[in-house]
Structure 1
Amino acid sequence: MSGRQVIYFDVSDVVEFVRSNTRLSGIQRVSVEIVKTLSEQRGDHELRLICHHPTLKRMVWFSAAPFGSGYVFDHAGFCKYFAIAHRREGSIWIKEHLKRRYRSSAKRLFHGVRLRLRNLLDGGQTFARRGIATRRSRRLKPKNAFEVDFNRGDRVFISGATWGGLFQPYMEALEDAKRRLGIEVSLFVHDLIPLIAPEHVVNDVPEQFSDWLGRMCSFVDLFLVNSESTGRDLDCFMRAHVRRAVPIRVVPLAHEFLLPEDPGGALRPAPAKFFDPQRHSLGERRIRCEVLNAAMLPYVLVVGTIESRKNVWTLAIVWQEIHRRLGLDTPRLVFAGKQGWAKQAFDDFLQGSGHLDGYIRIVDRPDDAELAYLYSRCLFSVSASYYEGWGLPIGEGLWFGRPVVASNVSAMPEVGGSLVEYVDPYDPKSIRDACLRLITDEAYREAMARRIRREDLRRWSDVAEGIWQALTAPARVAPRLKAIPAGDAADVVVLAG
């Protein structure tokens, strides 16, 4: 290989996430969208995918060529390419099942043999009844996976969440490579949720995240962040916990929502000003009946993991008040996302009110085609979170040309700019009044929609170009975090206190 710098784009967290999830979540979606754009423009001599492989237990790299702009995420195909065993969502491996049930290693051995034999005899029904995943081992093929051979000046770009015990050996290997071979390490920090909003995360996540971020601060050469808000949070953390100046560059994420075509087709953008739900080639045959049913009547959309940080209980209470005022004219409130955590009050409300007599609906784990269907047909969408590092659903709602109600805190005003109706997430009356106006004043609502459609919104190609420039340009030191145009990558330096 020549002495030219290679960017190793880390996908370790995507690989790990896909082992037990068939659809991508927020941070993983961001990584895949960026890879799709960069791999279209860069060959293996400039861009490679790297991961700490869960089976090999070491770093290997893969070509990014199969993930060009026409790539559509396919769970089985992704697992095959990276040669990883995967399991159904909600299932566990046999070893995990046995550890939960039996303390004694002898009992685990006995019952492990027993369960495997029964599963073999009844054609897999034993594992299926207990939610046990069948591990399918795949042997890595040399044409897919290659040993990592760093040269001085190569850069590893970590785009996702690599904190937690699973990635500990990987971080140690990167530190060693940096010390011995002179590679550079850059990290994209999407948010500091476990530290800024620990009341919305579980167990010892804040402690794990703090330890990981402190360690990363000690050896990364460059931080990238998705918003000035996240940059300020990271700045505060480093001032308080580390004594090392680390440059921070802000690269805002995109509003663009890319739509998959019919099987065998290419991926195409779905800009709001051109998107026609009646003409797009996705075909309603690909949309689940529960999605079609939820969208059958006028509705307001809430997209994202259904968890306490998304303010879901407050939204449910607000909708109850709206229903008292509007009666049968109340639109449905449709939550589209996977089930999250710390939302007992929300679950109790749904159970006690019969999902507010059916005016609140849950669409579990929608895919991209279903999200496009829901975004394009809603009256408007709501993102009333207490905290976001960016806020993808805000931008996506705008991309489809529909009005958005969003919180006026953290990074969310950076996403929506002047196009969004802002509310105080801690004030239910503020949320209620904004939603009532958009529900009852059709002229105002559609005027907002027309203004949104005239805007030139940010695309994933803009994000990829900003990241590439940030990774390849020499660091420029600025005295403090400054306001930055939405389309630019900018630099700040953290001054150790």
Structure 2
Amino acid sequence: MSAENVIYFDVSDVVEFARSNDRLSGIQRVSIEIIKYLSQVQGGENLRLICYHPLFRRMLWFSAEPFDASYVYDQAEFCRHFCIDYRAAGVRRLRDHLKKRYKSSLKRAFHGWRLRLRNALDHGRTFERLKIIQKRSRRFEAKPANAFEVSFETGDRVFITGATWGDLFRKYVDALTEAKRKVGIEVSLFVHDLIPLACPEHVVDNVPEQFSDWISRMSGLVDLFLVNSEATRRDLERFMRTYTERATPIRVVPLAHEFLLPESRNREGGQAPAKFFDPERHGFNGRRLRADVLNAAQLSYVLVVGTIESRKNVWTLATVWQEVHRRLGFDTPRLVFAGKHGWLKGPFDDFLQGTGSLNGYIRIVDRPDDFELAYLYKRCLFSVCVSYYEGWGLPIGESLWFGRPVVASNVSSMPEVGGPLVEYADPYDPRSILDACLKLITDDDHREAMARRIRREDLRRWSDVAEGIWQALTASIGPEGGQGAAPVVSVSAMARPSR
């Protein structure tokens, strides 16, 4: 790759996700962490962020400069950089905000004009802070100054890190296909998992059909697949053998165990309140935490991190905890689920309602931020990840990063993440999960011996992931479309490259 060639780092799915989410989930977090590292060491004109813009309905590129090592995801700032409107959690219209705060119609009228004026003077920050939604601004009708038209040159590369499938991105894939035919760009795609194909019973509507069509089409477009685990590589190879005619090269770049925390600051941008504030009891790294997080962690607990959905095996885990409580009584630790509410979890919801959340022994912390997650990881007895299927399994590695033991499934990619540091269970056998959890609850010496062993390990960092991806993207592409002599390259998830 010559110095003049550009790598376009695709953020289309992150941009679309950010429009309605004030917290990043797994795949989006991976994308942001990689961008942060690459913009620091490989930034400048050779790295640009590209997306199929959901408002302008065409490809645009943006500078990666704001995404340095200290970058903290903020929905409003992110959406402003990419010139998109957004729907933050808890947003409401101005009239609803005024009705809630003021009974008098005169007060509502006065404060309505006051807030509109203040919002105009500070360029929209007042409404952002109060989470007041407006009609789409006219500034989105024309391309803004920080968005640039894409003009590909021969040798440029597009790296897609997320799922650009569905009707929104169909024209985007068309445009990339045309650019590849006319200009000769090279396209790489990071496949995080094949969940809709491997376990369609845990997804909704026509997602399996959409995903299958997308992977089939991308198999003919991309020059290189990157995957995060050997398990995902096997799934992808199996799909291509069965449904496509092309054997596209695959490189395995495992994800990280590292849990990166942004610089400590509270939501108002100032210092944490000093009066009555105990950082050890009420916060993490000086950040004041929500009361429901502190409340959930006030007694000993076991942690489950991730979207609360059927694929995460949440109903089975809840019934296992009922048996734990039957055996241990008051010695039962809480089971704390930390994540957003997902889909196909009716039996789990029915269980919580029918048992009073197992008499309070099961708690849910909705949409924790990174500081709250770190607080929960650090103080848990151990964590549990007994999913039926994962492409990688970020919560397993993150728990290890904080030195806490894990009970994990022995299927798909999860043994690659945990290696010999994890207590494994069969996700299809409730007794296997029960035995593994009881062992870590009741045997303090065994649990803490596991913790000491974890703390001695040199776990994988996000810089290792970014370096592996950069090497894959900048390696020479052979004349047959293969990458060197070995189209499949694997890196151990538990090992870090030598320095």
- TM-score computed with the length of structure 2 as normaliser: 0.85
Whole-Å separation in 2 of the counterparts to 1:443 and 1:206? 45
Whole-Å separation in 1 of the counterparts to 2:496 and 2:151? 33
**Aligned amino acid, residue 324 of structure 1:** R
Whole-Å separation in 1 of the counterparts to 2:134 and 2:253? 41
Residues 64, 120 of structure 1: alpha-carbon distance in 2 compared, 3 angstrom cutoff: farther
1:56: Cα distance to partner? 1.2
Residue 364 of structure 2 aligns to a residue whose secondary structure is strand
Q: Tell whether the 8 Å contact from 1:87 to 1:135 is kept in structure 2 after alignment.
A: no
Determine whether 1:478 maps to 2:480. Answer: no
Determine whether 1:44 maps to 2:44. Answer: yes
**Aligned amino acid, residue 13 of structure 1:** D
Query: What residue number does 1:374 align with?
Result: 376
Whole-Å separation in 1 of the counterparts to 2:368 and 2:282? 18
Determine whether 1:321 maps to 2:295. Answer: no
Query: What residue number does 1:358 align with?
Result: 360
Whole-Å separation in 1 of the counterparts to 2:92 and 2:428? 38
Q: Tell whether the 8 Å contact from 1:9 to 1:158 is kept in structure 2 after alignment.
A: yes
Residue 233 of structure 1 aligns to a residue whose secondary structure is helix
Long gaps (5+) in structure 1 = 94-118, 125-130, 266-276, 490-497
Out of 337, 340, 344, the position equivalent to 2:342 is: 340
1:183: Cα distance to partner? 0.4
Whole-Å separation in 2 of the counterparts to 1:132 and 1:289? 24
Query: What residue number does 2:271 align with?
Result: none
Residue 261 of structure 2 aligns to a residue whose secondary structure is strand
CA deviations 1:451-470 (Å, max 9, x no partner) are 00000000000000000000
Residue 66 of structure 1 aligns to a residue whose secondary structure is coil
Out of 300, 307, 310, the position equivalent to 2:309 is: 307
Query: What residue number does 1:349 align with?
Result: 351
Cα root mean square deviation, aligned: 2.6
Q: Tell whether the 8 Å contact from 1:385 to 1:425 is kept in structure 2 after alignment.
A: yes
Query: What residue number does 2:227 align with?
Result: 225
Determine whether 1:438 maps to 2:445. Answer: no
CA deviations 1:221-259 (Å, max 9, x no partner) are 100000010000000000001111210000000000011
1:23: Cα distance to partner? 0.7
Query: What residue number does 1:160 align with?
Result: 162
1:135: Cα distance to partner? 3.4
Whole-Å separation in 1 of the counterparts to 2:110 and 2:184? 55
Deviation larger for 158-167 or 2-11? 2-11
Long gaps (5+) in structure 2 = 94-107, 114-130, 268-278, 477-482
Q: Tell whether the 8 Å contact from 1:261 to 1:281 is kept in structure 2 after alignment.
A: no
CA deviations 1:98-149 (Å, max 9, x no partner) are xxxxxxxxxxxxxxxxxxxxx999959xxxxxx9953342447754211111
Residue 302 of structure 1 aligns to a residue whose secondary structure is strand
CA deviations 1:49-99 (Å, max 9, x no partner) are 000111111111111111011111111110111111001337799xxxxxx
- Identity across matched positions, percent: 71
- TM-score computed with the length of structure 1 as normaliser: 0.85
Determine whether 1:461 maps to 2:463. Answer: yes
Determine whether 1:11 maps to 2:19. Answer: no
Whole-Å separation in 2 of the counterparts to 1:183 and 1:120? 56
Residues 472, 345 of structure 1: alpha-carbon distance in 2 compared, 3 angstrom cutoff: same
Query: What residue number does 2:118 align with?
Result: none
Residues 353, 410 of structure 1: alpha-carbon distance in 2 compared, 3 angstrom cutoff: same
**Aligned amino acid, residue 81 of structure 1:** H
Query: What residue number does 2:292 align with?
Result: 290
Whole-Å separation in 2 of the counterparts to 1:483 and 1:372? 30
Residue 326 of structure 1 aligns to a residue whose secondary structure is helix
Residue 369 of structure 1 aligns to a residue whose secondary structure is helix
Q: Tell whether the 8 Å contact from 1:407 to 1:423 is kept in structure 2 after alignment.
A: yes
Residues 88, 414 of structure 1: alpha-carbon distance in 2 compared, 3 angstrom cutoff: same
Residues 233, 91 of structure 1: alpha-carbon distance in 2 compared, 3 angstrom cutoff: farther
Whole-Å separation in 1 of the counterparts to 2:470 and 2:195? 26
Query: What residue number does 1:97 align with?
Result: none
Q: Tell whether the 8 Å contact from 1:87 to 1:134 is kept in structure 2 after alignment.
A: no
Residues 165, 198 of structure 1: alpha-carbon distance in 2 compared, 3 angstrom cutoff: same
**Aligned amino acid, residue 476 of structure 1:** G
